[in-house]
Structure 1
Amino acid sequence: MTGQAPRVALICAIAFSIVNLKAADRPQSKPTPSAAAKNREQSNWLTFPPSSAKKFVLPDGLTIIVQEDRSAPVASVQAWCATGSIVEDEKLGAGLSHILEHMLFKGTKTQKANDIAQKVQDVGGYINAYTSFDRTVFWIDVPKDGVESALAVLSDAMMNSTLPPEEYNKEQEVIRREFAMNVDDPDRMLSLLLFATAYQKHPYRLPVIGEMEIYNQLTQEQVMQYYKTRYVPNNLTFIVVGDVDAEKIHQQLADYFKNYPGKALKPVFVPNEPPQLGRREVHNEFATELSRLSIAWHIPEITHPDVPALDLLAGILGDGRSSRLYRRVREQTGLAYGVSAFSYTPGDPGLFGVDATVDPKKRDEAQKLILQMIDEIKQAGVTADELVKAQKMSLAHHFDALTTMRGQASDIGSNWLLTRNLDFSRHYLIAVQKVTLADIRRVAAKYLVDQNLTVASLNPKGSVGPKQEASKPPAAAEIQNFELSNGLRLLVREDARLPLVSITAVFRSGLLAETSETKSKRSAVRFPAKPGTTA
C-alpha cells in the first residue's frame, strides 16, 4: 500500500457489494476485565465480507475476474499484463513495457488506430493505459451497453497489435518529449535520484520509462519480439467491474481466445536488493529556486505483516496539516514550505520516506529536525489519538477508492497481481485496525535506522558545487565508486604519494562458471605481460 495523502472525508455508506460494514459480535462468555476492554475495542472494528468477484481461468491460462455491481449502468473493462519495467531482461532500462503501452492501440491486423478510437467513442467509452514496475494496464470505461465492444477492442490489442512502423516512429518522439518533461521536473528528478541511490541491484533503481541512452537503441523489431513474448494469454488477466453478467463476459472472452494457445514464459531473474549497510547521501544541483529533500529507508514488500503499521506511521508523520511533520517542521519552525511522508510497498521491498521542499540554506537544519522527530517516535512512540486518526484516514482512503467501477477494478487487479488473493484488501483493512501503539514504535525502531537510510536532494545551482570544490580530495584509504551508462563499474582510489598508476580489470568468471567445453581453455586465456608490467 502507499502512504500518499488520503482524502479526509470518510465514505460512510458504500453502495457496493464488495464492502459491507458491520460491528463485530461480542463474545457470549463473561470476559475478564482486560479481555472486556479488548472486546470493547474489537466491537468497534469494521468487518468486511469475502470478495464476491467471480474468477475464471481458460484452458490457455487467461484469467478473467468479474465483479457484478448494478449500482450504476456503467462498467470498467481492464486488461492487465503481468509485465513491467523490472522484467525487461536483457533490455533492462530500455522502457520496452512503456513503449508498448503507447503502441497497442495504434493498429492491429484488422483495425487501424482511428478505427479503434472510433469504436470506443461510438459506445461512449474512455480509453487509457499506464505502465509500472510490474504491470501494464489498459482500460476502457463505458456505459454497460458498450462492454462487448470494449472487450473486443482490448482482446484484439492484446493479441494482434502490429506496431506499425510509421506509428512507432511517431510514438518514439512522443516518448522523447516525456523524457524531456521529466528532466525539467524537479520533483520527478528527485524521485529518480532517490530510487537510483537507495537501490543498487534491484531494477527499481531504473525509471519505468527507461533511460534515454538505452531507449534510443531500441528498434521496432525488438519491441515486437518483446510483445510476442510477454503478451500471451497465460500472462494476461481481464477484469470487469460494473453492471454486467459474469457468465456472458466469460463466454465472450472464451470464444475470442480459443484460437490463442498459452505459451511458455521465459523466467526473468530479478535480483534482490541486498541489505543496506550504511547511510547513503547525495546532493545534486538543479535549475530550481528551492531545495527538494527526500529521506528514505528500505521496508518490506506489500504482503509483509509490518506494512499496515508502517502505512499508519506515514500517515501520523506526514498526512495533512495536523500531522506531526507539518505542524513542527512547517508551522512551528518554518523550516519547510511543504512536507509529507510516504510508505511505498510494491511487490518487492519498498521505501518509507519523507519529502520536503525547503529553502536551500535551511536544508540541513530541516533534515536534522526530521531525523530527530523519527528518533522521538522510536523512543516514546505516538499517542492513541494519532493512531485512531490515522486508522480512520486509511479506511477513508480505501473506501473512497472503491466509489468508482475503475477504482474497484484497480483494487481487484492489484490484489490478484501482487498476492493472488482477491480478499487481500479485506485482510489489509482488518490488519490496519489491529495495529497497536507498540506496533508503531516497534516498526519505527526496526526499519528507520541510520544504516538503512538514504538521503537525496536537488538544490539550486551554485548552492552545492562550491562546497564540494572546497572539500579535501579523497584520502588514500577512501574509494570512489562510479557506474558508467553501459553498466561498467569503476572503483578509483586517489593516492598522490607516488607518480604511479595501477589498473586491474576483474571479470565475473572462474571455476564456478566453467562448463565441460570451456574447462580446457581456461589456462590458455592469459594476457601476455609487456616490459615493465606483471601478468
Structure 2
Amino acid sequence: VANLAPCFARLVTLPNGLEVILQSDDSAPVVSVQAWCRTGSIHEGKWLGAGMSHVLEHMLFKGTSSRTGLEIDHSIQDAGGHMNAYTSFDRTVYHVTIPDTGAKLATEILCDIMQNATLPEDELPGELDVIRREMEMGNDDPSRRAGRRLFETAYTKSPYRHTVIGYRDIFDKLTRDDLLNYYRERYAPNNCFIVVVGAIDTDEVLEWINDCYAAQPARSLPPVLLTNEPRQVASREVTDEGPFEHAHFHFAWHVPDVRHDDIPALDVLSTLLGGGRSSRLYLHVRDAKALVHSVDAWTYTGEQTGLFGMSAVADADKLGQAQAAMLGELQQFKDSLADESELAKAIKQFT
C-alpha cells in the first residue's frame, strides 16, 4: 500500500458551471495558470477529421475583443512568463508559467481568450499555412507517422482513430465562420475549468476568476455522438514502409477509460517496464542487449477506451529480436511480482 501525500487542492464550481481548481504552494515564487476546455478532435461533429480544435489552439492567442495578439505576447513576456498550448483527442489546454507577481495578469488573459477570442481574419491564413507545414512534417517524420498508424490500427470505429491535426482535404474546407461557431459552442464556461497553482492566495485568485466570468452564463452544449470502439477479437498488425533509417514500432493493448480503478496500476506498470533509464526495457533491451536505440512504455487514457503500450526505435536488422525481447520483458510481469523496492521506486514517481 502506497502512502500518498495529501491533496490540498481546492475545487470550486461557479454558478455558470465553470470549475476552478486552486492550490497554494509557496515553495517557489512561481505560478502556473491553466485553462482547460473539454473539447478536442473527437468532438468536432460533422467536421470530424478537420483538426478544428487544433486550429483554435493556434488562434486563441491572436487577440480578443480587448487585447491584440501582440499585447498578449508582450504583456506575458514583460512579466517574465511563458505561454503555450496543446490539443489532444478530448481536450485543449492553454497554460502560462509566470512569476507570482504576474499571476493576476496570466489569469485574466487566459480567462479572456477562453471567452472573447476574435479569431482575426487577417491572421487565419498564416496560421492555416503553419498547420499545413506541420502536416507535411508529420508525414516526413517516422516517429509521428508510426504514432498515427498506431491509432488508426488500434481504433476501427472510435473517433480516436482520426489524427488530431486533421486531414488536408477536410482541413482545407474550414472557414472562419466554422471556427467561430465551434468556439462559441464548445468553449462554454460549463465545459471548461481553470487551474491555478503556486504562490497564490486562493481566495484572491477565485475573486479574479469570478470577476472575469461574471457576465458569462452557462450554455447548453450540443450533443456529440462518440462511437464506442468494439471489443477487439484478434491481433492487428500494420507495416508502413518509408525512406527512413530506423524502424519505429509500437505494441499496444486496449485498456479502460481514465476513470477505471485499474488505471493507476497500469501507470505504475508502464513506469516499471519502460519509464526511464532504470526501467526494465531500458536496462535489458537497450543497455544489456543493444537491440534498440530508444525504448519506453506508456499508457494513454481518455474519456473512452485507452491504450497501454510499448514503443521503440531499432535498426531494421534487429527489429525481430527487439520485438521478441520487449514482449519477453512484459511476460516477466505476468509470471512474477515486481520486487518491493522496484515497485516503491516506481510509485514514488507519482507521489
Please give the TM-score of this superposition, normalised by the length of structure 1.
0.62
Q: Deviations over 1:250-299 (max 9, x none)?
A: 22222222222111011111111111011111111112122122111111
296, 304, 311: which one aligns with 1:340: 296
Counterpart of 2:341 in structure 1 is: 388
- CA positional deviation for 1:217: 1.4
Give the residue type in structure 1 aligned to 2:336: G
- Give runs of aligned pairs for residues 370-409 of structure 1, distance below 5 A: 370-378=326-334, 380-382=335-337, 384-385=338-339, 387-396=340-349, 398-399=350-351
- Give runs of aligned pairs for residues 201-216 of structure 1, distance below 5 A: 201-216=157-172
Counterpart of 1:151 in structure 2 is: 107
Check if 1:48 corresponds to 2:1: no
The DSSP-based 3-state class of the residue aligned with 1:296 is strand
- Give runs of aligned pairs for residues 75-154 of structure 1, distance below 5 A: 75-154=31-110
Q: 1:388 to 1:271 in 2, by over 3 A?
A: farther
- CA positional deviation for 1:204: 1.4
Counterpart of 1:73 in structure 2 is: 29
Check if 1:281 corresponds to 2:237: yes
357, 361, 365: which one aligns with 2:313: 357
Counterpart of 1:177 in structure 2 is: 133
Distance 1:356 1:78 in 2: 32
The DSSP-based 3-state class of the residue aligned with 1:282 is coil
Q: 1:354 to 1:252 in 2, by over 3 A?
A: closer
253, 257, 265: which one aligns with 2:213: 257
Q: Deviations over 1:385-434 (max 9, x none)?
A: 2x5314313322x34xxxxxxxxxxxxxxxxxxxxxxxxxxxxxxxxxxx
Distance 1:71 1:332 in 2: 40
Q: Deviations over 1:194-230 (max 9, x none)?
A: 1100111111111211122211111111011100111
Q: Deviations over 1:349-381 (max 9, x none)?
A: 211222222222332343334334444543x22
The DSSP-based 3-state class of the residue aligned with 1:217 is coil
The DSSP-based 3-state class of the residue aligned with 1:105 is helix
Contact 1:312–1:391, Cα closer than 8 Å, also in 2: no
Q: Deviations over 1:135-160 (max 9, x none)?
A: 11112222222222222212221111
Distance 2:84 2:290 in 1: 41
Corresponding pairs, count: 351
Q: Deviations over 1:459-512 (max 9, x none)?
A: xxxxxxxxxxxxxxxxxxxxxxxxxxxxxxxxxxxxxxxxxxxxxxxxxxxxxx
158, 176, 179: which one aligns with 1:223: 179
Please give the TM-score of this superposition, normalised by the length of structure 2.
0.92
Distance 1:321 1:373 in 2: 15
Identity of matched residues, %: 45
Q: Which runs of 5+ in 2 are unaligned?
A: none
Counterpart of 2:260 in structure 1 is: 304
Contact 2:268–2:346, Cα closer than 8 Å, also in 1: no
Contact 2:272–2:346, Cα closer than 8 Å, also in 1: no
Give the residue type in structure 2 aligned to 1:353: G
Q: 1:281 to 1:66 in 2, by over 3 A?
A: same
Q: Which runs of 5+ in 1 are unaligned?
A: 1-41, 400-535
- CA positional deviation for 1:235: 1.3
- CA positional deviation for 1:120: 1.7
- CA positional deviation for 1:332: 4.8
User: Which structure has the larger Rg over C-alpha atoms?
Assistant: 1
Q: 1:309 to 1:79 in 2, by over 3 A?
A: closer
Contact 1:290–1:359, Cα closer than 8 Å, also in 2: yes
Distance 2:26 2:327 in 1: 49
Distance 2:36 2:176 in 1: 22
Give the residue type in structure 2 aligned to 1:329: V
Q: 1:246 to 1:214 in 2, by over 3 A?
A: same
Q: 1:251 to 1:347 in 2, by over 3 A?
A: same
7, 18, 41: which one aligns with 1:62: 18
